[in-house]
Amino acid sequence: MLELIQGLSVLELIIWSLLAVLFFYQFFYQLISYRKLLFFKHKEDIQQQAINSLPPVSVIICARNEAPNLRQFLPQLLEQKYPEFQVVVVNDCSEDNSEQVLEDYRTQYSHLYVTHIKSDPIYRHGKKLAVTLGIKAAKYEHLVFTDADCYPTSDTWLQSMAGHYNKDKKIILGVSPYEKSKGLLGQVIAYETLQTAVAYISSALRQRAYMGVGRNMAYTKSVFYDNNGFSGHTHLLSGDDDLFVNKAATENNVAVEFSAASIMKSMPETRWSEFLKQKRRHLTTGKLYKKKQKIRFGIETVQGFMFYCTFITLLALGSFPLIVGAVFLLRFLLSSTFRTIAAKKMNFEQAFFFQSLWLDILVPMIRTSIVIVNTIKPQKFTWR
């Protein structure tokens, strides 16, 4: 071994040292960050409280031009097995036949409440206004949120989410995988969603919640009003979920739920243009994250790129290519194993074991490119 090291040039020695540091850093970082998720054990009973002690709940859905999705998915929410709940749909400036669809369902379901926002030719608003009006219209203190293009995978989804409410837990974070979709775009969307879920669920389990997804989350009216709603980021169209949790979460007021019964499936974008537009909107919120969180995410991105750069450089130099390949393969196996275990724990259908060979490079490149474009050329977006 000493002879091998002595045979290296100064440049090779520096790059090999950097590769070793990055390898061990990534391994221990993932193990420490994700340990609670990796070793998490689900309770056999999906209900966290007895059925008769579950609090009354208002489910809030904001919809803009979602008539087909409302027609298809709304009954699955209205027919949840739950003792007392209402579903509040905020029909936000829809130009399709959403109003008629909602009126049809309102005649069938007495616990469906609908409120409408009319379009204004001058004032344009984002989803936060619709969410705020939905909260104000809600009959109950305990709220659960989802989107019109989502559907629960069980009729006990609401029990699974709201069952965590108690005197301490005021925010509940769920997960929302996307439906399987063919092609590279479908892989990118599903892989990024899995990565995001692993990160925010792991942080919440370590009492460091920093975000949630509006497709499947819950919080109380009191938490919303005590934190002045969306103040501080009302100028951004995104952030009704992640920035609100970032502001309102404490070490003790957050619970997580990702049992099989609690999964809320989402419909993915089918065109690259729409996906990139959506990601540009979502990634405008990053600049308002707490400083330590921005530093953490920046380090994660940089060290990932650095590992690939050192790997490629050593191959180009012809410096012990078999050992370089073995290090790369070991990193790939460890990282993919961690992600596969996490995906199974959170009931994601896909873990992308082998696909991560290219997705692990492509997804960060897409995110970084979008952040750069947003910085150079900010744009105004609509939430739908």
Identify whether residues 222 and 332 lie together within a single domain. no
pLDDT tens per residue, range 211-254: 999 999 999 999 999 999 999 888 787 888 999 999 999 999 99
Identify whether residues 85 and 132 lie together within a single domain. yes
Backbone angles phi, psi at 266, to 5 degrees: -125, 155
**DSSP codes, 13-44:** HHHHHHHHHHHHHHHHHHHHHHHHHHT----S
C-alpha 280/C-alpha 378 separation (Å) is 9
How much is the pTM? 0.90
C-alpha 186/C-alpha 355 separation (Å) is 12
Residue 383, pLDDT score: 55
The whole domain housing 320 covers 2-39+291-353
Residue 317, pLDDT score: 92
* 58 inside domain: yes
**C-alpha distance from residue 249 to each of 48, 104, 162, 335 (Å):** 20, 38, 17, 29
Identify whether residues 264 and 306 lie together within a single domain. no
**DSSP codes, 67-126:** HHHHHHHHHHHHT---SSEEEEEEEES--SSHHHHHHHHHHH-TTEEEEEE---SS----
* 283 inside domain: no
Alpha helices in the chain (DSSP H): 2-6, 10-38, 67-78, 98-108, 127-137, 157-162, 183-205, 221-226, 242-248, 272-282, 291-317, 321-345, 356-376
Identify whether residues 73 and 138 lie together within a single domain. yes
Identify whether residues 222 and 160 lie together within a single domain. yes
Identify whether residues 248 and 307 lie together within a single domain. no
Identify whether residues 95 and 149 lie together within a single domain. yes
Backbone angles phi, psi at 355, to 5 degrees: -65, -20
Number of domains, the chain: 2
Residue 48, pLDDT score: 46
Residue 3, pLDDT score: 57
Q: Which three-class secondary structure state does DSSP give residue 168?
A: coil
* 105 inside domain: yes
* 360 inside domain: no
Identify whether residues 345 and 241 lie together within a single domain. no
**What is the CATH classification number for the domain harbouring 256?**
3.90.550.10
C-alpha 235/C-alpha 128 separation (Å) is 10
Identify whether residues 28 and 167 lie together within a single domain. no
Sign of CA dihedral 364, 370, 373, 375: negative
Identify whether residues 58 and 187 lie together within a single domain. yes
* 210 inside domain: yes
Identify whether residues 185 and 314 lie together within a single domain. no
C-alpha 22/C-alpha 18 separation (Å) is 6
Low-confidence residues of the chain, pLDDT below 70? 1-7, 44-50, 378-384
Identify whether residues 76 and 120 lie together within a single domain. yes
C-alpha 142/C-alpha 248 separation (Å) is 15
